[in-house]
Chains A and B, each alone.
Chain A
Amino acid sequence: MALSEQMVRHVATLARIRVDSKDEGRIGAELSRVLEYMTMLERVDTTAVDPMWQSVDATWDGQRDDEVQSSLERAQALANAPEQRDEMFLIPRILGGEEG
């Protein structure tokens, strides 16, 4: 149940958050304590219980008609961009292959 430093690294990689190696032990210990607490859930008998997921009623279907609404002005779309070029968001080079 305890989160090893290796697992902290794995989770931090998935979450794309750099964690300094000196902090891996501390974070692992903190998360382990929290996860240890979560083990109490194992005591609950949930056979034949469906996960709840969310709390929506069925008062409407939550869908929209296929109508084009005006988009943002491009300047607005790019207004908060840290860096842009040629009316697009600029990012540094991508190492390795594509994902997805």
Chain B
Amino acid sequence: MDTLATSAGEIAQSVRVGDVSAEHIVNVYLDRIRRLDGELHALLSVDEAGARAAARMLDSLPAEQRTRLPLAGVPLVVKDNILTDRLPTSAGSKILAGFYSPFQATAVERAVAAGAVVVAKGNLDEFGMGSSTEHSAFGPTRNPWARDRVPGGSSGGPAAAIAANLAPLALGSDTGGSIRQPAAFCGIVGLKPTYGRVSRFGLIAYASSLDQIGPLARTVRDAGLLLQVISGLDARDATSSAEPVADYLAELEYPLRGLRIGVPSQYFGAGIEPEVRSVVMSVLDRLKAGGAQTVEINLPHTEYAIAAYYLIAPAEASSNLSRFDGVRYGFRAGASDLVSLYQNTRAEGFGGEVVRRVLLGTHALSAGYYDQYYVKAQKVRALIRRDFMEAFAEVDVVVTPTAPEVPFGLGSRRDDPLKMYQSDICTVTANLAGLPAVSVPAGFVEGLPVGLQFIGPAYSEALLLRAGRMVEEVVERPRWPLDEP
């Protein structure tokens, strides 16, 4: 078989029936990583020996055990803010450089138990704070489609790795769009599950009430395959949900007729590049031709989402990142007394964007400002969710562009935080409302990928995947940028 041309689902099937060994699959991908990642820098660490050992272990399993593994032998890239036991986990920060966790994230554990082989850790904006992966302490990742441009962020490493076929599947995390926006920028599929659908145990927290782990893949089906494995209640995450997990792959087989798609004016107006808008509108036209309905809807509090998000996320981050104090693990700066130890360690260990958000969040929670900023933002957040609840009385899903723009040039945004924050306008609302959302490739603008996003009601992942599948069917897929001719 042509390993590189096949999907994760097909790879797993071949390994299950013994057509190909897991070790062979892993070697093919490791070889590709060695050849291509030098330039892309999608990955922060690669576990060649561990991956091969894991693959050989899979190959040595009795056939009847292997046939039960939905991800048998599928190489997996894990964003480097998700804990793995063999590879270090840095969260893209100097403060955690070389940190080895004594435990593994639930999502990784479940993927590995399903037969996935962790091959590498993916680059990211430090602690997930950014939309370009330029805020990684270990250097930026390049977009495989245009190497002078960013892959998006913060899961830019995993997204670029999928687009460059360094692995068929990746786990990312999404706090305000960190799976979906890089998926859009890299022309792949990325899904942020309903809050609580996937355990956050082992995800290094950025903003606890917004963070979710989710899959990145080349196809909707592959994304569903990984989502299936990682979803469900985890007794180690009190905010995970006991809601039963749907059979995503089975549901994908049912065609979707008469889907009512809400089109909110707030996501198609000013601030969205016209070329991006027309790519998305054109896909909608094709969906309508296929029998879907579009309905104009109103999500009136959308314009406040960025302000609410950039108070809530930094506030929680300021608290979550306090544990990085140089006492028990991670980087420690030289200091002769305790307070200097804290101050030096955190000043030298955190990058500029992290410092900015920690200070912003600290201010938002501080005496005299808490009600004005944090509580107010949480009330506006409730209204943003209410907007969606009302919309879902009328429509099945809401459609938006995933990002208001195409991938921008490396280094073109770094000096304007507010502008950078505003580019998250299409994605932060799903996190604020706790809703699932998927980004699927919608087309290109001058060779640069554009993503389309569906947002659905809580636990509507199956529906979102089916809607995404519909888009796949009407969008012509060009040749992948780095796949062999």
Contact = CB atoms under 8 A, between A and B. Distances in A.
Contact of A52 (B241, B311, B379, B417): B379
Contact of A57 (B196, B366, B418): B196
B425 to A, nearest CB: 12
B325 interface: yes
A16 B338 CA distance: 11
Contacts of B341: 91-92
B43 interface: no
B102 A18 contact: no
Given A16-B346, A92-B338, A93-B338, A11 B363 contact: yes
A91 B362 contact: no
A19 B347 contact: yes
A7 B359 CA distance: 10
Given A38-B373, A57-B196, A62-B238, A17 B359 contact: yes
Contacts of B303: 40
A46 B376 contact: yes
Nearest to B360: A31
B100 A41 contact: no
Contact of B337 (A11, A19, A82, A94): A94
Q: Which size bracket describes the interface of B in this complex?
A: 35 or more
Interface string A52-84: 111111011011100000001000110111110
Nearest to A16: B342
A62 B339 CA distance: 36
Contacts of A33: 417-418
A79 B100 contact: yes
A64 B434 CA distance: 24
A81 to B, nearest CB: 6
Interface residues of A, number: 54
Contacts of B106: none
A14 B370 CA distance: 14
Given A55-B196, A62-B239, A95 B338 contact: yes
B337 A41 contact: no
Given A52-B382, A83-B332, A95-B337, A40 B99 contact: no
Nearest to A48: B379
B380 interface: yes
A41 B369 CA distance: 14
A72 B101 CA distance: 12
A82 B324 CA distance: 12
A34 B383 contact: no
A62 B382 CA distance: 22
Contacts of B356: 27, 30-31
A44 B363 CA distance: 21
Contacts of A38: 307, 310-311, 373, 377
A78 to B, nearest CB: 8
Given A55-B209, A93-B337, A34 B360 contact: yes
Contact of A17 (B195, B243, B338, B347): B347
B72 to A, nearest CB: 31
Given A52-B379, A79-B102, A91 B338 contact: yes
A11 B343 CA distance: 12
Interface string A30-50: 110111011011101010011
Interface in B334-365: 335-344, 346-347, 350, 355-356, 358-360, 362-363
B441 interface: no
Contacts of B242: 59-60
A93 B359 CA distance: 26
Contacts of A3: 363
A49 B307 CA distance: 17
Contact of A49 (B304, B339, B383): B383
A30 B359 CA distance: 11
Going nearest first, the 3 A-B pairs with the smallest beta carbon separation are A55-B434, A80-B329, A62-B238
Interface of B: 99-100, 102, 195-196, 208-209, 233, 235, 238-239, 241-243, 301, 303-304, 306-308, 310-311, 318, 322, 325-332, 335-344, 346-347, 350, 355-356, 358-360, 362-363, 366, 373, 375-383, 385, 417-418, 421, 432-434, 458
Given A17-B343, A93-B338, 17 more contacts: A10-B366, A11-B363, A15-B358, A16-B322, A16-B342, A17-B355, A30-B356, A40-B304, A49-B383, A59-B241, A60-B233, A62-B239, A63-B238, A79-B102, A82-B330, A92-B337, A92-B340
6 contacts: A34-B310, A41-B304, A54-B209, A54-B434, A56-B239, A91-B327
